[in-house]
A = this chain, B = another copy of it.
C-alpha cells in the first residue's frame, strides 16, 4: 500500500506539501505540484479516507437504514439518495433491517425490532457516519423506534417523526387522492366507492381526507355503504370488491387505497363479469409494477420515490453545510397516471 509519506519521499517534498496538492489547499508552486502529481500517478496512489476521516472528523458517509429493501418503495428511494449523494461526493453505508422477513407487516410488533434498530444506529455511529437517513416500509410515526443517543442529523422518509430536531420527507397523498377523486367526478362519476387501508394507518386517514374533500367540494354526500375497510392486501380488495359489486346500487367507480387491493377489485370484476372500465372504473395508489400488468392497465397515483430520496439527501447535505432555514417536513407531489381502468360514467 502506497501512502502519502511514500509520495513525499519519492517526490522529495514533505508530507504537508503532498497533502496540500491532494486537497488543493495552500499555495504550491506549479513545479512542485507537477512533480507530486507525477509521483502520485506513477505509484498509483489512492488516499486513505479512513486516516483522513480520523483527522478531520468527517467521513462524507451517510448511514442509510432501510426497513426492508425488498419492499417496492425502497430501491427507488435509495436510487434517489445515490443520485444526489454522488453529485456531492457522499458515500452510503447501507443497513437493511429486513423487518418484513422478521415480523411481516405486523407493525405493532415493531418493538421487537427496537434492539435491532438500536444496534444498527450504534453501528453507524461507530462508523462515524455524518448523518442517518431512515427509510420506512410504511408511512407511520417511528419516533420512539429510532434512538437519538447521538448528535447526528436524522432524516426520515416513507415514515415520519414528531421530533422537532429531525426531519421528514414524504409525499402529498391527501392531495393526490383528492385529485384522483376529482378526476373521477369530472368524468361523471357520482357513486364513488372507497376501499381503505387499515384503520389505524396514517395513510388511510390522509387518503380518506383527500377523498372526502373532493366529495364535499362537489356537493356529493359520502355514502357509508361505499366505504370499505381493507388491509392493504390483494385478498381484501377482492373480497370487498365482490361486496361492492353485489350492492343493489352499485358504485360506478372504486378507489382502492393501493394497487394491490385494486388488483383484487379487478379480479372481483372479472369474476362477476363486470367490465372495467365500461361498467365500472377502478383506480389504485402507488403505481407499483403490477399496475402496468393488470388487465386493464391500472389508473393510479405514482409516488415520487426517487425525488424523496434526492430530497432526503439534499436536506442532509444542507444540514451538514449548516445551511439555514431547512424545513422540517417536506411533502412531495404525486403524479396521476392515467391508464385504461377508468372511463367516463355513462350511467
Interface residues of A (CB under 8 A from B): 44, 46-51, 53-54, 59, 61, 64, 69-70, 74-76, 78-79, 82-83, 91-96, 98, 101, 122-123, 125-128, 149-150, 263, 288-290, 292-295
Contacts and interface: CB of A to CB of B under 8 A. Distances in A.
A150 B128 CA distance: 25
A127 B69 contact: no
A93 B92 CA distance: 6
Nearest to A125: B46
Given A263-B293, A293-B290, A294-B293, A44 B149 contact: yes
Contact of A127 (B49, B75, B123): B49
Contact of A82 (B53, B98, B123): B98
A118 to B, nearest CB: 11
A123 B290 CA distance: 37
Contacts of A79: 69-70, 96, 98
Contacts of A289: 288-290
A82 B149 CA distance: 25
Contact of A123 (B53, B70, B91): B91
Nearest to A150: B46
Nearest to A121: B46
Nearest to A267: B295
Nearest to A96: B82
19 contacts: A44-B149, A47-B126, A50-B127, A61-B93, A64-B94, A69-B78, A69-B82, A70-B76, A74-B75, A79-B96, A82-B95, A82-B98, A83-B98, A83-B101, A92-B94, A93-B93, A263-B293, A288-B289, A293-B293
